[in-house]
Amino acid sequence: MAKGTTTESVIDIGKAPVIDYNNKDWDAARASMAPGYVYDEVATSRQGRGADEAVALWRGWAAAFPDSKGEIHNVFHSGDTVVVELTWRGTHTGPLQTPRGTLSPTGKRIELRACQINTVTNGKVQSTRHYFDMTSLLQQLGVTG
């Protein structure tokens, strides 16, 4: 942990990606990211390198699920690493970019458990690895058995 950084501030910084997404506050999201930020969305094999690419991916999710929000259940912290357990909820009312192409709106609600592992450097989020189950998401949308 960087000198002068408290456990509480590292945890708050580590929760910022979810909070900024919930608020659809893309400027705050960019401001919370360190130079060279990397967003790694494991389930889709997509990466956003830099704040603009990461926010573009997040805006895609927000376009597909305009009411989407992540509910944080647990936060674990060790050194400069913050692990966030959460559940994403939302209604699929816009086109969704998937690894297999664009999925038209289904009107269905999702509830998807997820985990983010955030690395904090000098008071900013340096990287996020975001884990969720793509098969569960597609099943809830009724597009796979």
The confidence score (pLDDT) of residue 100 equals 79
pTM (predicted TM-score) = 0.92
Question: Is residue 34 assigned to a domain?
Answer: yes
Element (H, E) at 62: helix 51-64
Identify the DSSP state of 41.
E
The confidence score (pLDDT) of residue 66 equals 98
Question: Is residue 121 assigned to a domain?
Answer: yes
The confidence score (pLDDT) of residue 7 equals 74
Furthest-apart CA pair in the chain: how many Å?
51
CA 76, CA 116: separation in Å to the nearest integer? Answer: 10
- For 131, the domain range is 7-140
From the CB of residue 59, how many other CB atoms can be counted at a distance below 10 Å?
14
- Do 77 and 7 meet the contact criterion of CB atoms below 8 Å apart? yes
CA 132, CA 145: separation in Å to the nearest integer? Answer: 18
Which of 79, 84, 101 shows the shortest CA–CA distance to 5?
79
Number of domains into which the chain is organized: 1
Question: Is residue 145 assigned to a domain?
Answer: no
Per-10-residue mean pLDDT of the chain, 145 residues long, equals: 67 96 98 97 95 97 98 96 98 91 95 98 96 95 83
Q: Which long-range contacts (CB under 8 A, 24 or more apart) does 48-54 make?
A: 54/29, 54/128
What CATH number has the domain bearing residue 100?
A: 3.10.450.50
The confidence score (pLDDT) of residue 145 equals 56
Question: Is residue 89 assigned to a domain?
Answer: yes
